[in-house]
Structure formats: structure tokens, C-alpha cells
Amino acid sequence: MSDGVSRGTTPSAPDVARRVFTSERLPLAERYAELLATEGVVRGLIGPREAPRLWDRHLLNSAVLAEAIPEGSSVCDIGTGAGLPGLVVAIARPDLQVTLVEPLLRRTTFLEKVVEELGLAHVTVRRGRAEELHGEQVFDVVTSRAVAPLERLLGWSMPLASPTGATVAMKGRTVHDEIDSAASFLLKWRCGAPEVSEVGVGIVDPPTTVVRVPWADPSQIGWPLARDAKRRRTKRGPRAAK
């Protein structure tokens, strides 16, 4: 990372950060914050006005998502951008295996450099879109932050969730409206009932709203049906063209 970038805009970690990062992991979080406030701004990953409020608005808000992730889970963070929330969760939780999925090269280049510098051997950076992993990998937990409305988000994330896994997405005040709008999708693809909760109570204000969507029945998940339907459409196509 370039030492020519001014580091004067990097805020120091607030005392409350010690409640989500251990003494061994906090220096890594502080270095990541420094890189975001410098290299991240230069690369256009975050706006310069965001740098002074990185901890309250971004890092702590993302770190508390770890409360909703079981120990030892494999995690896929789709549309991770500059690493929010996936990279922050990985810093806080070395017990997790985290894959960061992001289509833009300038972002994955930054993420790869951060992962290498911080020595995060349990983190993999994958350049591409979430749907490019469909049918290739599955994970215990699929996370995201401000990626898309719930119905569209589930179309990307649920095919990546293992039969006993779930989508765990950070959402805002409209989460219940999004759940209502996604009702037909949830039923069609055999998703379980969405569970809304708050994490980070007493750490971030307001607490982070999280929606968790599992499969309704691990033995009858919706994704294989979608894959079979796609295969049937592909077979019908050439016949229709004759």
C-alpha cells in the first residue's frame, strides 16, 4: 500500500470496538480502517466524506453481523465491494472460512492486497457475480449489505446456501415491506420463513437489522428445481428455432 497517501483522515478505533474485536484482532481492524480511509478513497471505493465515520457507519455496523453467524461456518459475502461486511466479519472471526465475491476488478485488487497484508489466510477473494458460483459452491451462510431488495437478493444468494444454510442479510427499516414483496418468491423456491432480528445492541446505534432466510426443508430445497427448469428451457430452445 502506498505510504504517499495521507493518513490524517483515519479515525482511531472507539472504545466500543473492543467489544467486537479481541485484543489480537483489533490491530487488524485498525489497519483495515486506515487502508479504507486512504487507498480506499484514492481507488474510489468509498467517498472521502465517509472516511471520518468509518467505524460508526461501516466497520462496527458490519462487525456485529458476526453475532448471527454460527461458529466454524463457511461464509460467502456477495457484492462485498470494499469488504463490507464480509472482510470485517472475517477480521473479527478467524474461525470462519470467508469468500468475498465482487465483480469489479479495482475492488478485488484492493481486497486481495488487504487480505495479503493482514495475513487473512481464511479469506478468499473471488472476482465475479454471485450467479457465476451457482451450482459450483455452497456455503453455510451467505451475507450481504445493501445489495438489492430482498426478492432479487434471494435469487442470487439462496442458490449459494447449503441445504442447512441460510441467507443472512443486513437490511434497513423497510425489511418487513421487502419480505411482503418477496412472499411469492419465498413460496415458489421453498424458502423458510424470514427471521428478522437486531444485532449489535448496545454497540451500534441504531442496532443493525438482519434478516435470515433458511430453506424450509433441507431435503427439498428450491434451487435444484430452478436448475432443472433452466435445463428444460435450454432443451426446448433449439426445437422451437427449427
Q: Which residues belong to the annotated binding site for S-adenosyl-L-methionine?
A: 79, 84, 130-131, 145
The three three-digit cell numbers of residue 46, written as one number: 468509498
Amino acid at 70: P
Torsion of CA 197, 200, 201, 206, to 10 degrees: -90
Instruction: Quote the CA–CA distance of 50 and 98 in Å, as a whole number.
Output: 25
Looking at 34-96, which runs of residues are DSSP E strands? Answer: 74-78
- How many beta carbons lie within 10 A of that of residue 160, not counting itself? 24
Instruction: Quote the CA–CA distance of 82 and 73 in Å, as a whole number.
Output: 22
Length of the chain: 242
Residues annotated within the binding site are 79, 84, 130-131, 145
Q: Is the distance from CB of 48 to CB of 6 less than 8 angstroms? A: no
Closest-CA residue to 17 (of 200, 144, 208, 143):
200
| Rounded CA Rg of the chain | 19
Residue 2's SS3 state is coil
